[in-house]
Structure 1
Amino acid sequence: MKIMVQKFGGTSVASKERRQMVVEKIANAKREGYQVVVVVSAMGRKGDPYATDTLKELALDNTFDCSLRHLDLLMACGEIISSAVLASSLEADGYRVEALTGFQAGILTDDTFGNADILSVGTNKIFSHLEEDKIVIVAGFQGSTQDGEITTLGRGGSDTTAAALGVALNADCVEIYTDVDGIMTADPNIVPKAQIINEINYDEVFQMAEKGAKVIHPRAVEIAHYGNIPLKIKNTMSSHPGTCICNCRKNGTTPYSSKCSTQLLTAITHKDDITQVSLSMKEPLQKDSLILSDLAEANISIDIINFFVDKKIFTILTPQRSALEKILQNHKVEYSILDRCSKVTIVGSRITGIPGVMATVVYALAKENIQILQTSDSHATISCLVKEEDAKKAVNLLHEAFHLGRQ
């Protein structure tokens, strides 16, 4: 049995016209011989009647706090409504359809309401419907605990649902439909010359998502990578082939032969709302450990870390600044804060061991007098901390320096 999982985001199912485009995408897959499992998000975006954020505001607008359990029960309704509406559109075109909640689809989660992790996916019910040649629609973003409590999977949860179903069903691929033609070399709102990436490997996409690019949720990428299921990012409103996320290997060759790009870099990303923290540490090393333990206990994640004998420099997300300062003041350490920073990151699995990459970064930014405040790197990334006012220019300069606009 050839199986395809197709996920449609909120903008794809927001109107009758858009839903008809969705029906056509599903019909195309059926014509190609696939049994189709469809995952849907809630219809529209914040402000639209059944969007997740709109539903959430119904509860949070009350005088009393809403429990996370009740909030999950409410927010899960958006995807259920979307499933039923799309099912009626498909039935109107003559298709046999079965719409399921996450619970009915066999998605078992832990009991972390609001951000649950999937523990397992039972596939018997879905397979039985597919064997009857039915299109199965699953409400994304949700599952249930062993006790039958409804849970939601956090931001990007419908992507996670689609990837998990793809792996559990051993699907040929998972198609993620949105309102863009694919993953691009940079944010096109910042870099007019940004190009669609035809193929990209799992690790590069994971790094892009982690470093600020709004492409697909990192958890969905991890799940698909684990199951070696190709992910395709496509546009509901066009016939563009989109971006394929895969291992980029064919017949045992190297990851950079065959279809993978020969570009040194894959993309440039950036993340705003970063705060740089500098500690003057003259106390014993034990105090360093205590401060770091307190930061971890407060769920304050530190990044771009440079530790010296007398000074520790790192970054945090700006919304965590108040909590950080309370901890530092409690430990009576001297510190300074630099707000309004951005982390600009180049992403590319081929940069490992290649001489001159950092030199190109430094030269490109220095010639426009953009100060690099800190750097960090991994096997597939180099990140530079810059002032927020310089971030967009830095992204454009690096995009041009590494010729990403000429793919």
Structure 2
Amino acid sequence: MAVIVQKFGGALLATPQGRRDVAERVIATRQIGHQVVVVASALGREGDPYATDTLLGLALQVDPDVSPRTLDLLLSCGEIISTALLAHTLERSGTPAVALTGPQAGIETTGDFGEARILRIDPARIQHHLDAGRVAVVAGFQGVTAEGEVTTLGRGGSDTTAVALGAALAAALVEIYKDVEGVMTADPKVVPSGRVITQISYDEVSQMAALGARVIHPRAADIGREHGVRVVIRRLGSPSGGTLLVRGPELGVPISDGRPVIALAHLPDVVQLRLPRRPGEALDAPLQALHHLAAAGISIDLITLMPDVLAFTVKEDDHRRAAGLLERGGYEVAITRPCAKVSIIGAGMRGVPGVMARVVRALQRAEAEILQTADSHTTISCLVRREQMERALQALHDEFGLGEQVASEQEAPG
């Protein structure tokens, strides 16, 4: 019997009917002869009683200075509640099921509260339940250290749980069910012509996630690539096959098919800070500012060092603290906000000349001012003003023809 891992997002599990729909999907998979492991996210979204953000809000009501250990213990409860309810729903439907927390499922992690990494999984307990004819319903997003401390895996960590369990159990397939059709060329809420990508490489989807697309946790993509896990992202109940994640050579044809870009991503809430170099100051003096921010736990992005200025971005939520810290350190700080980071992603742009020129041309046509850029072999990111983000993304989507399938996407995933 093949093992299938199915991960369900919190929006799908938020209501009794939603949980019944999920149970039907699980039961249907069992009926065709598979053993099923289910990974559950916390119920609903912010505002719903047991959603992760709601639980976080409860802690912040007491005091914003929350111990990371205490916070992880609290946040892990959302997935445990969801897991228990889904296991109960399955059992009431006549399907034997057992609910397991991350620690009970054998998931051992580092001790980095809030951003723990999975070190190893002992699948023996899960396999025992599968062999006994039960569905194993595992709480996503969590694990335990060797010392017995409960940890969480960071935002989107249930995806990581599912793919890691797929690797540990040598699963035939990991299905990640979301409230979208699959990985999209662009967020359809922003770019209406955004469409489902039927096949995409692990490297590309990992870049998309890192650049703001809410498709799959980057660590989940890394684990899938390293262990050869077959992963499909799809919508529950949709006739679409969703998106199959593959290694580049598995596509069978050149990944670009003459088109260097496969998708877009964006981060809408960033702020640009600029530090002019003071007269007589060493060229690298502004870089000391970055050390002050790092010591304060403020993450920075899009760093550009020029002879007369250092420019970089921070999250909107961090910009006041960052600016205040720098001003107290004697730096002059110029702020541009609100901004957005828009990015193109594609393994096909590696070594292809003229891609940046096309980006600049598209944004100029859209009258979107480029404030800053960064690039790698497979990505180009531009900082634009927030009010110009939507038209910038649409212009890039049109420029690179992302509304049309390429040959490597013609077969829908199974």
TM-score of the pair, normalised by structure 2: 0.90
Q: 2:272 aligns with which of 269, 276, 279?
A: 276
The aligned counterpart of 1:159 is: 159
Q: Which runs of 5+ in 1 are unaligned?
A: none
SS in 2 for 1:406: coil
The aligned counterpart of 1:189 is: 189
Aligned-residue offset at 1:75: 2.4
Is 1:105–1:122's contact at 8 Å kept on the other side of the alignment? yes
| d(CA) in 2 for partners of 1:173, 1:255 | 25
CA RMSD after TM alignment: 2.2
The aligned counterpart of 2:355 is: 357
Following superposition of structure 1 onto structure 2, how do residues 258-407 of structure 1 map, counting pairs within 5 Å? 263-281=259-277, 282=279, 283-285=281-283, 287-407=285-405
Q: Which runs of 5+ in 2 are unaligned?
A: 406-414
Name the amino acid aligned to 2:264. Answer: I
Following superposition of structure 1 onto structure 2, how do residues 102-113 of structure 1 map, counting pairs within 5 Å? 102-113=102-113
| d(CA) in 1 for partners of 2:261, 2:98 | 44
Q: What's the CA shift string for 1:117-141, capped at 9, x where partnerless? A: 2222111111222222321111111
The aligned counterpart of 1:143 is: 143
Is 1:199–1:248's contact at 8 Å kept on the other side of the alignment? no
Is 1:212–1:270's contact at 8 Å kept on the other side of the alignment? yes
Q: What's the CA shift string for 1:143-195, capped at 9, x where partnerless? A: 12223222222211211211211121122221111111111111111111111
Distance 1:177 1:64, change over 3 A: closer
Aligned-residue offset at 1:65: 5.7
The aligned counterpart of 1:72 is: 72
| d(CA) in 1 for partners of 2:130, 2:83 | 17
Name the amino acid aligned to 1:386. Answer: V
The aligned counterpart of 1:206 is: 206
SS in 1 for 2:208: helix
| d(CA) in 2 for partners of 1:56, 1:320 | 18
| d(CA) in 1 for partners of 2:125, 2:68 | 29
Name the amino acid aligned to 1:314. Answer: F
SS in 1 for 2:249: coil
| d(CA) in 2 for partners of 1:51, 1:147 | 27
Name the amino acid aligned to 1:35. Answer: Q
| d(CA) in 1 for partners of 2:272, 2:99 | 48
SS in 1 for 2:114: coil
Q: Detail structure 1 runs of 4+ shifted over 6 Å in the superposition.
A: none
The aligned counterpart of 2:22 is: 22
Distance 1:255 1:312, change over 3 A: same
Is 1:23–1:89's contact at 8 Å kept on the other side of the alignment? yes
Name the amino acid aligned to 1:272. Answer: P
Name the amino acid aligned to 1:87. Answer: A
The aligned counterpart of 1:175 is: 175
Is 1:98–1:137's contact at 8 Å kept on the other side of the alignment? yes
TM-score of the pair, normalised by structure 1: 0.92
SS in 1 for 2:12: helix
